[in-house]
Structure 1
Amino acid sequence: MKKWAVAMAAVLLLFSGCSNKEKVKEPEKKHEVVDKVVEKEGQKQEDPYFFPLTGIRSKAAVDGRAVAVMVNNHPKARPQSGLNKADVVYEVLAEGDITRFLAVFQSEKPTNIGPVRSARDYYIELAKGLNALYIAHGWSEEAKEMLEGNYIDNLNGMVYDGTLFKRSSTRKAPHNSYITYDNILKGAEQKHYSMEKSPPAFKFYTEEESKNITGNDAKSVMITYSKSAISDSTYEYDSTLGKYKRFSGGEQTVDLDTKEPVLLDNIFIIEAVHQVIDSYGRRDIDLKSGGKGYLLQKGKVTEVEWKNKNGLIVPMKDGEEIRLVPGKTWVNVVPTNPGLQKSVSFNVN
């Protein structure tokens, strides 16, 4: 009996040992499964921050004030410097047949920007809606009153020509004024402007959602501003890149210094009421009342409305704000007379 009791104790001890080992292994197996799930989820998880004007994700905080620069679009000013780094570019008629660009920078900071051109009141309003530091060289009477009245934080070449603003020896005035980003920051410091507050954000698709955008095929679009065609532009969708290339005067829009092309993810074309107000052909342009528009994304075009949402021009459909594809956006503003249908033509091939 004593031998039998010892044998039974040994058997029980053996089973107990096996049971303990199984209890240890089970959590290890679960732990391995959890690790795999976390790793898999980690691959899908987006970075926590995004740039407000491009929607591009970032691991680090993306705070910082936008800078809006008036850039010349006269044929003698092409190719320009810095446009390929702009988050958003607004292209609007200044006077005559010439458009001018308001190039807005926040996620990227180009070394050199220009040629810098003079201010108009409606460009100032666009910059104001973005809480941007406004950069120009020169002004109309209306713009001068706004800038000298401190309506918006600004640096103007009329005050800083030869200091913050430099003249290029390879071009003639008024197509030769440039400013570096370092000088913009230097000027902001001199005038005690804060560069901390970020601009309001557009709404964006996720990368996955942007692959499923619907609409009519539009592989290219041509925008006509006048019979002279001096400011007409064309955008062509490159399906390999998934982006739009821009052309002006038959030449692709590239950076003067680096030769890098302007590549865009959203082309937003809107019509607005234009009124000529003086003998120079200067205009008053209504960018507050809203109206018709086209939105091009991923080779597709959708008819939309546009709305001024607290100073931010956004696309709308059925009362809802349409999201943008993460990346860079170009906004073309054409007159209601002749309007979108006569100013804009599409090619589906």
Structure 2
Amino acid sequence: MAAVGKSTGRRARGRRAAATAVVAGAVAAGSLTAGCAGGGTPDDGRPPRPPRTAAWTPAPVPSRPQQARRAAPVLAVKIDNARAARPHTGLGAADVVYVEPVEGGLSRLLAVYASTLPEAVGPVRSARETDLELLRQFDRPALAFSGAQRRLLPLVGRAPLRAEPPGRRPDAYFRGAGAVPHNLYVRPHRLLRATPGVSALTTGFSYGAAPDGGVPEPVRTVRYPAARFTFTWDGSRQRYRVALDGTAAATTDGRPVVPSTVVVQNVRIRPSGYADSRGHNTPYTETVGSGTAKVLRGGKAYDALWKRPEPGDGTRFTTVDGEPLNFATGQVWVVFVRA
């Protein structure tokens, strides 16, 4: 009888431990899925659904020598670029803006902040698989995003970044006056304790004097199936004025969006294994590899080659002769187009 009693007690303790582990796992998973598409508040504004457990396991922090660590990571924010999301907030303060194709021929922006953290950025929308590879070039960046497709969440959890959706950091987000889902904004200072500085921008870009040559090209338009970007050289500002779908881009404080350098990067774009709530496949943009590009600076266009051998590498741009192709100091826009 004593042996039976001990065995029963061990089984009861085992059940209690298992139940505790399940509850702990549910809390951890809910912290990411709350506020995400397919769990919590979906990204397309649909009514919330209860989050499921099993969604997310954070990636381990890589072991690095203390002297190699940076004081703070960069902040990347996934920004809505639908017409209803404009004007943007805080976009002018970004060091780099990546333009990515998404479902339905539309586009979204991935803005990277290192030298300046504005008071607010947005509207914030959902992450895509493309973002995970693109952000591997930085040292464990913080990613602000509204959510992700449910099956993509495990990949987000395993990626070497700090996932910071509203479900994990509700204090960092707020809703503006617009309509859901185009009215979610993030407060960068609540995600980063310090501005990391330009040394954290491990993009591989080089800055300096323009190379010889180049062809005068004061206006360049890039078209997606359902989006259009026009970059017009403004000699008085020594910057490019940006127009989105034919309308001059300006932020909510009335300032124009004026990058110093624009890169039109030819890449492979293929279907991914994911789709939106309407069944539209999400395109995957391959940013590791090599190819050609056009670099716009100073009102001229330069033929360029790009190379990014590994996900952890930045992207190097060179002239066709193999010399580094310097960018002008200031904001850089990188527009991905199908090769």
TM-score, normalised to structure 2, is: 0.71
Q: Per the alignment, do residues 145 and 201 of structure 1 end up closer, same or farther by CA in structure 2, a change over 3 Å counting?
A: closer
Corresponding position of 2:328: 325
Aligned counterparts, 1:135-214, within 5 A: 135-141=144-150, 143-149=152-158, 151-161=160-170, 163-168=171-176, 170-185=177-192, 198-200=200-202, 202-206=204-208, 209-210=209-210, 214=213
8 A contact 1:204–1:326 mirrored in 2: no
Amino acid paired to 1:179 = V
Corresponding position of 2:10: none
Correspondence 1:76 to 2:84: yes
8 A contact 2:119–2:189 mirrored in 1: yes
Any idea what the Cα deviations from partners look like across 1:98-119, whole Å, max 9, x if unmatched?
1110100111111110011111
Any idea what the Cα deviations from partners look like across 1:100-159, whole Å, max 9, x if unmatched?
101001111111100111111211222221222111111134541122235311201244
Any idea what the Cα deviations from partners look like across 1:188-213, whole Å, max 9, x if unmatched?
9xxxxx9698232645444xx34x75
Q: Per the alignment, do residues 142 and 244 of structure 1 end up closer, same or farther by CA in structure 2, a change over 3 Å counting?
A: farther
Q: Distance in 1 between matches of 2:91 and 2:200?
A: 20
Cα displacement (A) at 1:313: 2.5
Q: 1:245 aligns with which of 231, 241, 247?
A: 241
The structure richer in helix per residue is 1
Corresponding position of 2:232: 236
Q: Per the alignment, do residues 205 and 69 of structure 1 end up closer, same or farther by CA in structure 2, a change over 3 Å counting?
A: closer
Amino acid paired to 2:266 = E
Correspondence 1:276 to 2:285: no
Q: Per the alignment, do residues 172 and 203 of structure 1 end up closer, same or farther by CA in structure 2, a change over 3 Å counting?
A: closer
Aligned counterparts, 1:27-66, within 5 A: 64-66=72-74
Q: What SS does structure 2 have at the residue aligned with 1:156?
A: coil
Corresponding position of 2:142: 133
Q: Distance in 2 between matches of 1:157 and 1:172?
A: 17
Q: Distance in 2 between matches of 1:142 and 1:220?
A: 41
8 A contact 1:213–1:300 mirrored in 2: no
Any idea what the Cα deviations from partners look like across 1:195-241, whole Å, max 9, x if unmatched?
698232645444xx34x753001001000111xxx421100001111
Corresponding position of 2:317: 315
Amino acid paired to 2:125 = R
8 A contact 2:289–2:307 mirrored in 1: yes
8 A contact 1:82–1:255 mirrored in 2: yes
- Shifted more, 150-159 versus 101-110: the winner is 150-159
Between the aligned residues of both structures, percent identity stands at 23
Q: Distance in 2 between matches of 1:231 and 1:121?
A: 20
Q: Distance in 2 between matches of 1:269 and 1:294?
A: 5
Cα displacement (A) at 1:265: 0.9
- Shifted more, 149-158 versus 109-118: the winner is 149-158
Amino acid paired to 2:300 = K
- Shifted more, 63-72 versus 75-84: the winner is 63-72
Any idea what the Cα deviations from partners look like across 1:3-52, whole Å, max 9, x if unmatched?
xxxxxxxxxxxxxxxxxxxxxxxxxxxxxxxxxxxxxxxxxxxxxxxxxx
8 A contact 2:204–2:313 mirrored in 1: no
8 A contact 2:100–2:285 mirrored in 1: no
TM-score, normalised to structure 1, is: 0.69
Q: Per the alignment, do residues 77 and 201 of structure 1 end up closer, same or farther by CA in structure 2, a change over 3 Å counting?
A: closer
Q: Distance in 2 between matches of 1:335 and 1:265?
A: 23
Q: Distance in 2 between matches of 1:134 and 1:66?
A: 9
Q: What SS does structure 1 have at the residue aligned with 2:318?
A: strand
Q: Distance in 1 between matches of 2:207 and 2:337?
A: 26
Q: What SS does structure 2 have at the residue aligned with 1:237?
A: strand
Aligned length: 260
Q: Distance in 2 between matches of 1:149 and 1:276?
A: 21
Q: Per the alignment, do residues 213 and 133 of structure 1 end up closer, same or farther by CA in structure 2, a change over 3 Å counting?
A: farther
Cα displacement (A) at 1:65: 2.6
